Structure 1
Amino acid sequence: MDKLSVLGLLIGLGAIAIGYSLEGGVVSALFNGPALIIVLGGTLGAVMLQTSASTFKKMLEITHWVFVSPKYNIEDAIEQVKGWSHKARQEGYLALENEALTHPDAYAAKGLGLLVDGCSDQKLRDTLEIDLLLERERLLEASRVYEAMGGYSPTIGILGAVLGLIQAMSFITDPQKLGAGVATAFIATIYGVGLANLLFLPMANKLKQRVEQKMLYHEMLAEGVIAISQGESPVSIELKLEAYRVDRPNVVVE
């Protein structure tokens, strides 16, 4: 669980609720079902209209990364690559066939498979780099769905406010009901702006960080596999991958 994400969300919502209360407002007045339906439904409909089914599905698959950070153990991965190097030098590339078939990471498994198949160094590098670029673009495109939601949400909120005002105008002869109707109408604007800036846009940026974290991990695996194909020693490979041990913002080290 990413405690910082949860804490940030709670602080953001809490600050608004506490500040509103200190101004004399009633927090329960901010809850309005119809306004929420208009903003969420309208925003979701807009992004579904512009997004392909595969991208939308991928967005749903990676949403949990915002609150449950995927962890990649850099130390274990480097030791694993060194182990592959030892085995390849002693027994040949075919000794890595079982690793290629059973490795849980599809990207690493593909790299090992190409190595076992006797792929040339250049072809191996080109294939892994292309896969890395395409995977990165697919994941970033999925994260941009939340970015789009952050763009549409405030506008849909304004639309909800206008619809609320139209309804409120039906009470123009009753000042008490008119005032309550106007207040309710503007809640839609609060939802639109609040969801965009407290939820959708931060989620989009957090997912982009997670994507870069994963790509950096796969980049390290690719460099290791390519170094093995070039016949480098385990010690040399460890020195090459040493930079990935540095505590960087996009790398999670368990």
Structure 2
Amino acid sequence: MDIMTGAGLVAGTIVIATLMLLGGSFGIFVSDHAVIIIFGGSISATMIRFPLGAILHGLPLGAKFAFTMSRLSARDLVDELARIAEIARKQGPVGLEKVETDEPFLAKGIRYVADGYDLEFIRDNLERDRDNFLMHLDEGSKIYRAIGDCAPAFGMIGTLIGMVQMFANMTDPSKLGPYMAVALLATFYGAAVANLVCLPIADKLHLKLVDEEINRTLIIDGVLMIRDSKSPTLVREMLLAYLPEKHRLEEEAETVPA
């Protein structure tokens, strides 16, 4: 689980809730008007921007990956692929049938090698799987960003509607306060939804997309080299190029004999 996402949401919620309680009670911050305009308006605008299929794939996938982390880092994947290459060299493709890994995408590639599929079939299927996954993850990022962009705008629309209602009832001073509160709550809801939830999740998904693209491309190259019966040392050396310079230097230092 990605602890930072959950911790950030909890911390932000606590900060906002504390400030709300310091000025009164939660009851004064409840507004049907604000809920309808923010969530109804943002969802409606998002439905206009994106096809239904993209929304149905993007929203749940985005929510899932905003709170999860890759089972293996790029550095772990290099070690894992070198280990699997060693097994393949000693036992052949048949030995890969008993290999276990925590990374489903890697497990799929190893299964292809163990089953004896040719190189082009493995490359095409893994690349198609990677590209489809990244496309849906990118859709999720764009959808959350779209909602984050719409929420403050619809908050302002809600504020304007509330102010129109307030000015229309200037003859009744008792209604001015409630209408002004409703108007301001729409802006509050829009800003909170956008800046605490949607835009941060969109940014997190974009970073995860970059990481997943690197990791899955690394896996594809590693699996293809194992299918080509490359040595574990060569597999490791070739895949080290995917690591940041700091990690490459650390890996190289660890492999140099004392």
Normalised to the residue count of structure 2, the TM-score between the two structures is: 0.76
CA offsets, 1:63-102, max 9 Å, x none? Answer: 0332343432556644543344234434544554676xx9
The match for 2:232 among 231, 234, 238 is 234
Amino acid at match of 1:49: I
SS in 1 for 2:72: coil
Count residues with an aligned counterpart: 243
Select between 127-136 and 205-214 the one with higher mean Cα deviation.
Answer: 127-136
In structure 2, relative to structure 1, the CA distance for the partners of 1:84 and 1:11 (3 Å cut) is closer
User: Contact 1:74–1:217 (CA<8 Å) still a contact in 2?
Assistant: yes
Aligned residue number for residue 252 of structure 1: none
- For 2:186 and 2:79, locate their aligned partners in 1 and report how far apart those are by CA, in whole Å: 54
The match for 2:166 among 161, 165, 168 is 168
Query: C-alpha displacement at 1:134, in angstroms?
Result: 3.7
In structure 2, relative to structure 1, the CA distance for the partners of 1:54 and 1:158 (3 Å cut) is same
Matches within 5 A, 1:29-40: 29-40=28-39
- For 2:106 and 2:68, locate their aligned partners in 1 and report how far apart those are by CA, in whole Å: 23
Query: C-alpha displacement at 1:241, in angstroms?
Result: 3.0
- For 1:146 and 1:9, locate their aligned partners in 2 and report how far apart those are by CA, in whole Å: 15
Question: Are 1:184 and 2:182 counterparts?
Answer: yes
Amino acid at match of 2:142: R
SS in 2 for 1:232: coil
Amino acid at match of 1:6: G
Amino acid at match of 2:66: V
Select between 209-218 and 103-112 the one with higher mean Cα deviation.
Answer: 103-112
User: Contact 1:146–1:201 (CA<8 Å) still a contact in 2?
Assistant: yes
Query: C-alpha displacement at 1:133, in angstroms?
Result: 3.3
- For 1:92 and 1:13, locate their aligned partners in 2 and report how far apart those are by CA, in whole Å: 54
Amino acid at match of 2:206: K
Unaligned runs of 5+ in 2: 247-258
Aligned residue number for residue 67 of structure 1: 67
Unaligned runs of 5+ in 1: 249-254
Query: C-alpha displacement at 1:107, in angstroms?
Result: 3.6
Question: Are 1:56 and 2:55 counterparts?
Answer: yes
SS in 2 for 1:72: coil
Query: C-alpha displacement at 1:158, in angstroms?
Result: 1.6
- For 2:170 and 2:146, locate their aligned partners in 1 and report how far apart those are by CA, in whole Å: 37
- For 2:204 and 2:245, locate their aligned partners in 1 and report how far apart those are by CA, in whole Å: 18
User: Contact 2:82–2:232 (CA<8 Å) still a contact in 1?
Assistant: yes
In structure 2, relative to structure 1, the CA distance for the partners of 1:7 and 1:104 (3 Å cut) is closer
In structure 2, relative to structure 1, the CA distance for the partners of 1:7 and 1:109 (3 Å cut) is closer
CA offsets, 1:130-184, max 9 Å, x none? Answer: 5433432221112210000011111111221222223334432112321321122
User: Contact 1:153–1:192 (CA<8 Å) still a contact in 2?
Assistant: yes
* RMSD value, Cα: 3.3
User: Contact 2:46–2:147 (CA<8 Å) still a contact in 1?
Assistant: yes
User: Contact 2:61–2:136 (CA<8 Å) still a contact in 1?
Assistant: no
- For 1:86 and 1:15, locate their aligned partners in 2 and report how far apart those are by CA, in whole Å: 52
Aligned residue number for residue 251 of structure 1: none
- For 2:117 and 2:61, locate their aligned partners in 1 and report how far apart those are by CA, in whole Å: 34
Aligned residue number for residue 211 of structure 1: 209
- For 2:62 and 2:177, locate their aligned partners in 1 and report how far apart those are by CA, in whole Å: 43
